């Protein structure tokens, strides 16, 4: 909220109650007005200091720059195991590839976001949608924060 008052290109959205991550992500994409749009979790599990590198990559001609963790160090083993099981099932049941360790933290061009917003999905799975719409994509790996 404080950043939004100090920087005109930062927007703050507030809801009357918790509607879930997917609804919040969609609302943010609908509100975004720029040529480049980034999304990230607010809990800072994803390193915001990667954003300049992500921007450098997108200016090389990519449409999407995605972050991915190459380890789950510091997470409870059950959470890691269930996450691995979930994504293994998704990979086997879907034609859309979701790269291992991929995060929602990404930088996208306006064209990519507009393509996502054109979809009429009601029950959204953003990682699947992000991958399904296509576009030239590159990945930046990082170590999991403890």
pLDDT in tens, 36-71: 999 888 777 788 899 999 999 999 999 999 988 876
Domain-wise residue ranges, the chain: 35-142
pLDDT tens-digit map of 62-104:
999 998 887 666 676 677 677 777 767 777 777 777 776 778 8
Give the list of residues 6+ apart from residue 134 with CB closer than 8 angstroms, or none. Answer: none
pLDDT at 55: 96
CA dist 69 and 72 (Å) reads: 7
């Amino acid at each position: 909220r404080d950043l939004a008052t100090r920087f005109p290109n930062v927007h703050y959205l507030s809801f009357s109650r918790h509607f879930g991550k997917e609804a919040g992500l969609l609302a943010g994409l609908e509100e975004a007005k720029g040529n480049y749009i980034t999304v990230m979790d607010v809990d800072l599990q994803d390193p915001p200091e990667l954003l300049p590198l992500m921007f450098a990559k997108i200016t090389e001609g990519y449409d999407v720059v995605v972050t991915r963790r190459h380890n789950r160090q510091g997470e409870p083993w059950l959470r890691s195991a269930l996450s691995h099981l979930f994504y293994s099932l998704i990979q086997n049941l879907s034609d859309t590839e979701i790269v291992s360790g991929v995060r929602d933290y990404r930088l996208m061009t306006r064209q990519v976001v507009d393509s996502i917003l054109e979809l009429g999905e009601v029950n959204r799975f953003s990682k699947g949608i992000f991958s399904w719409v296509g576009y030239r994509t590159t990945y930046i790996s990082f170590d999991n924060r403890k």
